[in-house]
Amino acid sequence: MTSTATLPAEATAPPGRGRDPHARRFGLPVATCLVMGNIIGGGIFLLPASVAPFGTISLVAFAVLTAGAIALALVFGRLAERHPRTGGPYVYARAAFGDFAGFLAAWSYWITAWVSNAALAVAAVGYLTVLFPAVGEHKWSMCLAALAVQWLPAVANLAGTRYVGAVQVVATVLKFAPLLLVAVGGLFFFDPANLGPFRATDQSAAGAVSASAAILLFSYLGVESATVSAGEVRDPARNVGRATVLGTVGAATVYLLGTVAVFGLVAHDRLVASTAPFTDAVNAMFSADGGAGGTWGGTVVACAAVISMLGALNGWTLLSAQTPYAAAKDGLFPKAFETKKRGVPVVGVIVTVALASALTVYNYTAGSQGVFESLVLITTFTATVPYLLATAAQIHFLLSGQRERVHPGRLARDGVLAALAFGFSMWLVAGSGYAAVYQGVLFLFAGVLVHAAMSARKHRAAASPAE
């Protein structure tokens, strides 16, 4: 069992006097909502249209991805039992392989977080145009809307973890009603004629499954949410693993049912071009003419999609600051990232939302097509780096005989899960495509210079005589 000496101060501080009234530790329900809220963010509301060009073979990819995500969640749960610290994959990689591996995990996860925020904002604009058509009339109005969607959750985060948890619970509850409406109710309106071809591209079946899975991974980013914020969770050794598995299984169930329902409600040619597929699906359910024109149901789903994405951005904004905070505490990120107020690493929040905003502005001004898909594929690659390092750390602990880190009775099961999760992560890298890997590697290697500067500073501090 990990001693409290290894935990950050905020993870062991006693409740009561001396604690910030705006900071609050998360229990199991809020931690589970954090996982589900971050997983079920903007991805589910836009991804059915993003993978429709591959054909219904993408449903096979969804099933494989779900199995892989659950294996990954179980591995994270095991790691969290032994390392209940804020930082998640960063903590595990550093414990197993040292500072450089830890830095790569932190840097890559940080990139994933703020690029994901930009992608979520782009997805949110597609549903905002359903509610406010004027937003979609000009690229600058769309850009401003995307920026507003990013900064509102940032303001909630800066108010303190007490408000982050409240927003996350409300957003998770509000988004589930329309998702379940489509996921369950939509099956009664299912029309097999809408499914289109099984394989709609010239790729091989394996290639199509890998390519669509690379896009679909974005919908499962957030599996590690509770581990990254472990320092803010009550009894993290027990609750982090449970929240990770419960949140992932719950999200997977809604995902699979919802995607199947959308494929059967919206004709394939319309789904490929859709910017709000769940709205189109509900319109098809309640509109007598098969979904042409708006309906109240489509408007409700658009509202829920925007709320869902705001909730996901609320959680991702916190996560994007937690990993740099943990790395800064160990001297691997600039010291400014240690600054914490109301339980929130404020510098991390501000820097992250500023970078995401800059990326959003760039993509709108560059006029690039398929912005969402491009951003999603980059995050697929950068997300797999900490996933690979974390699962490799688990394999390292299992094979190196570190009894304090391994439960002997679970050795065989944990070994199989870790191997599956590692293979799953490697498969996702292969499916990301050359362009995404190329851009992701550039982002990743840019961090090597940062690590060189930080490690040199740390070395100088260690070598200088104490004053």
Distance CA 140, CA 290 (A): 33
**Closest of 159, 156, 1 to residue 84, by C-alpha:** 1
Q: Would you state the structure tokens that stand for residue 457, as one six-digit string?
A: 């500073």
Residue 55 gets the label, from left (phi > 0), alpha (psi -120 to 50) or beta, of left
CA distances from 104 to 68, 90, 441, 444 (A): 23, 8, 11, 8
pLDDT in tens, the chain (467 residues): 333 233 333 433 444 444 444 445 666 777 777 777 667 765 677 778 878 888 888 888 888 888 888 888 888 888 877 777 767 788 889 989 999 999 999 899 888 888 888 877 877 887 788 778 877 777 788 888 888 888 888 887 777 656 566 666 666 667 677 777 777 888 888 888 888 788 887 888 888 887 787 777 767 777 777 676 666 677 776 777 778 888 888 888 887 888 888 888 888 888 888 877 877 888 888 764 444 444 666 677 778 778 777 777 877 787 778 888 888 888 888 888 888 887 778 888 899 899 989 888 887 777 655 566 666 677 778 888 888 999 999 888 888 866 555 566 667 778 888 888 888 888 777 767 777 788 888 888 888 888 888 888 877 877 765 54
Sign of the four-CA dihedral 248, 249, 255, 258: negative
Supply the pTM of this predicted model. Answer: 0.73
Could you report the per-residue pLDDT of 282-332, keeping only the tens digit for each? 888 876 444 444 466 667 777 877 877 777 787 778 777 888 888 888 888
Q: Would you state the structure tokens that stand for residue 408, as one six-digit string?
A: 């002997």
Which residue do the tokens 């997300």 mark?
A: 383
Q: Would you state the structure tokens that stand for residue 193, as one six-digit string?
A: 């004629």
Is the separation of the CB atoms in 45 and 381 below 8 Å? no
Could you report the per-residue pLDDT of 390-421, keeping only the tens digit for each? 999 988 888 886 655 556 666 777 888 888 88
Distance CA 117, CA 123 (A): 10
Q: Which residues pair with 341 in a beta bridge?
A: 344
CA atoms within 13 A on the CB side of 421: 31
CA atoms within 13 A on the CB side of 116: 36
Look at residue 26 and give its three-state secondary structure: strand
Could you report the per-residue pLDDT of 226-258, keeping only the tens digit for each? 676 666 677 776 777 778 888 888 888 887 888
